[in-house]
Structure 1
Amino acid sequence: MRELTDFQIEASAQGEGAKLAFRGPMTVSSLGLADARLRSLDESIAAIDLSGVTRMDTVGAWTVWRLSRDNDAKIIGCSEEAQKLVDAIRKADSNDHSVTAHRLPLLERVPAHVGMVMAGLGQGALQVLGFLGQVILSAGTLLRHPSRFRGKALVHQMELVGVNALAIIGLMSFLVGIVIAQQGAVQLRQFGAEIYTVNLVGRLTLRELGVLMTAIMVAGRSGSAFAAQLGTMKLTEEVDAMRTIGVSPMEALVVPRIAATMIMMPLLGFYSAFLGIIGGAFLSSLTLGIPFFTFLARVQEVVPLHDVWVGLTKAPVFGLIVALAGCYQGMQVKNNAEEVGTRTTAAVVMAIFTVIVLDAFFAVFFTNIGWG
């Protein structure tokens, strides 16, 4: 039978308050009923007698310390072991020593944070270069041993990256072409030059917006999928299992995704530019009085061929950046499922930012070589 804690209240002869005397064990298993009775006491307690206590744990020590603190009572008859527990509870419950985290002044904290961010960016850039080196080595290995290349995985990724994206990229490009034609016509109408809307739509979609908008869409759609898929495989230890059986994750997972994206990006970019021109021709036939097929014929006359080559040259580079960012971030997942979401977001941001920076570089480069 379980032994229960009992207590009694003895009146003090000096009238300074009652003495509360405990008997038996003061443990978590024996204080249930006694605790409810103790909380309903109305008497003023001047002393707490623990001489009759046989055992005490942390719950019993906290009960004694709470009674002592609330009634300003002294503790008597306490054994050495019980006294250590009560002192530990008193120290832990004391509010005299508040703990605050060390915080640098604002003028020091901001430069320190900026320095940490810049150091992290530098370290991340080195890691991305190392990852790119692994991709190149894996691609070289597959070129030397073509039988190890997974053609079905490549075709499957081409379907996911390219074929399944045709609808959303086509709709986006068609609407962007309409917007460019409408806004361009409004501005050119001030000079009586609405006919040059054809030049604006044709060159802008073929040279810049077609491949750029496609890269951004692929980054948000396929780049994020790469990061999430590979990150989940890292968490479920599928990547480690592949290494265990002698299969290279770079060859089986990363290279097919990068190759599929680089192959499909020029096709998607050209498809996007074509539908952008169709959108501009559709709006021009409705609002500018330029017949639909006349608009398309005029595009062939005013858009130089090198504009097409500019867009097709940038497309595989943008595809490499998007796929590399997604695969790199996915392969960096280590700890928990939350990191999958964090790395997926980082992959999209990294890809879009790098694509825009490279697009600016290409604009300057092609202008300097006479393809402006």
Structure 2
Amino acid sequence: MALGGRWTADQAPAVEAAAARLAAAGRGAALAVDMAGIERLDTLGAWVLERTRAEIEAAGGRLAYLGAAPEHRTLLGEVAARGAEPAPARPGLGPVMGALDGVGRATVRAGRECVEGIAVLGEVIAACGRVLARPGSFRGTALVNQIEQVALNGAPIIVLISFLVGGIVAQQGIFQLQRFGAQTFVVNLIGLLILRELGVLLTSIMVAGRSGSAITAEIGSMRMREEVDALRVMGLDPIEILIVPRVLALMIGLPMLTLIGDLAALTGGGLTAMLYGGLTLDQFLARLQAAVGVHHILVGLIKAPFMALIIGVIATVEGFAVEGSAESLGRHVTASVVKSIFMVIVLDGLFAVFFAAIDF
């Protein structure tokens, strides 16, 4: 058979029709195809020809291309080399074995992600060591800009959410404690709960959803536009240029936001206690001073940098995992937020057990 004309995307219907006739003629037979008459061949035409060849060979026939121009032969070779391999067939599993298979695959995937996170953490620490050895190479402007993005721009939403949550906790606590005539103990409740646990946890979750997702989206977009590869070509370390300022900004900004959020939550709880519990401002402050100490404030502030580091590492891992599609970017941004929130809660629980064990 002889092929001619333009095998290009704008001729797709004619190309598909010719390929169908070619596949029908070559089924179960040896077929030689003369490509000397093809005027132009693009990726679509080469892919259709390669698909047709695979169909003929699957049906027991053979197909050979003759007289192809060098550029056409090169394109056909590239398409054949990059052809998608079929997924390996999975054996039929029952419902129980299927569930166990899913759990096993998820466990292996989680283990790989944990290893990747540890590797990125090691690279960040190594980059910080290089920055300490050569302070002149550090871009302080980038750090200040990231602190502005994380802390300054994020402060209003943190204050609002913390204020509302503090008021809600105080209101529910008063309603329950009024049954026992102990509504004044709501000050102890909101003071300890907010300073030790709720303040830093709410702030970390908000930062994970706001700044962590932004870091993943930024790094992922750079990956899609090959800007990360461009940095490597120029001899620059992407970890030192892109990641270190962002991680340091998170570790500096999250404790600041935690302290601001604690103050906002205590303010909301205090106003609610005065409105619903009948407490005066002097009574609230006196009770708060008697209920909490400096070590309660330190408990929340000590957790903050570690939670910031976890958020930064997860955001970085997911950002570098983005591939060349918008779907991949959205999937990894979502994964970054979900994993960060999960790990923040896990880390908070570990810290709670640790501080309870040392009676701090």
- How would you bin the TM-score normalised by the shorter chain? 0.7 to 0.9
By how many angstroms is 1:107 displaced?
2.8
Residue identity in the other structure for 1:352 = I
Partner of 1:148: 137
The aligned residue for residue 150 of structure 2 is 161
Query: 1:180 maps to what in 2?
Result: 169
Name the residue aligned to 2:222.
233
Identify which of 278, 294, 307 aligns with 1:318: 307
Work out the CA distance in 1 between the residues paired with 2:19 and 2:298.
Answer: 81
TM-score relative to the length of structure 2: 0.76
Equivalent of residue 292 in structure 1, options 281, 293, 313 = 281
Tell me, which stretches of 5 or more residues in structure 1 are unaligned? 1-27, 33-55, 63-79, 82-87, 93-99
With over 3 angstroms needed to count, the CA separation of the structure-2 counterparts of 1:60 and 1:252, relative to structure 1, is closer
C-alpha distance in structure 2 between counterparts of 1:125 and 1:61, whole Å:
48
Runs of 4 or more, structure 1, over 4 Å off, are: 59-62
Identity within the alignment, %: 43
Worse-superposed segment, 327-336 or 316-325: 327-336
Stretch deviating more after TM superposition (218-227 or 335-344)? 335-344
What's the offset of the Cα at 1:113? 1.7
Rounded Cα–Cα distance in structure 1 between residues aligned with 2:238 and 2:315: 15
- Cα distance, 1:203 vs. partner? 1.1
Say whether 1:275 aligns with 2:264.
Answer: yes
The C-alpha deviation readout for 1:131-160, integer Å capped at 9, x for no partner, is 111111000000000011110100010011
The letter for the 2-side match of 1:328 is V
Q: Secondary structure of the residue that 1:290 maps to in structure 2?
A: coil
2:140 is matched by which residue type in structure 1? G
SS in 1 for 2:322: coil
Aligned residues: 293
The unaligned stretches of length 5 or more in structure 2 are: 1-12, 25-29, 32-55, 61-88
Residue 343 of structure 1 aligns with an amino acid whose one-letter code is H
d(CA) in 1 for partners of 2:22 and 2:159?
A: 72
Paired letter, 1:118: T
Query: 1:109, CA displacement in angstroms?
Result: 1.8
Structure 2 residue identity aligned to 1:369: I
Match of 1:126 in 2: 115
Q: Which structure shows the higher helix fraction?
A: 2
Counterpart position of 2:322: 333
Are residues 137 and 192 of structure 1, via their aligned partners in 2, closer, same or farther at CA, if it must alter by over 3 Å? Answer: same
> What is the one-letter code of the residue matched to 1:127?
E
Report the counterpart of residue 264 of structure 1 in structure 2.
Answer: 253
The answer to whether the 8 A contact 1:284-1:292 is kept is no
Higher relative contact order (CA 8 A, sep 6+): 2
Q: CA RMSD, aligned part only?
A: 2.7
Question: What is the letter of the counterpart of residue 265 of structure 2?
Answer: G
Q: Which residue of 2 aligns with 1:365?
A: 354
**How far does residue 249 in structure 1 lie from its aligned partner after superposition?**
0.6
On the 8 A contact 1:178/1:279 being kept in 2, the answer is yes
Are the equivalent residues in 1 in contact too, given 2:223–2:324 (CA < 8 A)?
Answer: no
Partner of 1:289: helix, strand, or coil? Answer: coil
In 2, distance between residues paired with 1:228 and 1:240?
17
The alignment partner of 1:162 has SS state of: helix
Q: Aligned pair in 2 of structure 1 residues 317, 61: CA closer, same or farther (>3 Å)?
A: closer
Query: 2:239 is matched with which residue: 243, 250, 269?
Result: 250
1:311-369, Cα deviation, whole Å (9 max, x unpaired): 11001111111111111210122342211111111111111111111111111111111
Tell me the CA shift for residue 297 of structure 1.
3.7
Question: What are the Cα deviations for residues 71-103 of structure 1, in whole angstroms up to 9, with x where unaligned?
Answer: xxxxxxxxx98xxxxxx7xx89xxxxxxx9853
The alignment status of 1:193 with 2:182, answered yes or no, reads yes
Distance 1:326 1:368 in 2: 31
| Distance (Å, rounded) in 2 between the aligned partners of 1:298 and 1:203 | 12
Q: Partner letter of residue 236 of structure 1?
A: R
Distance in 2 (CA, whole Å) between partners of 1:214 and 1:166 is 10
Counterpart-to-counterpart distance in 1, 2:304 and 2:161: 17
**8 Å Cα contact 2:212-2:337 kept in structure 1:** yes
Q: How many angstroms does 1:301 deviate by? A: 2.2
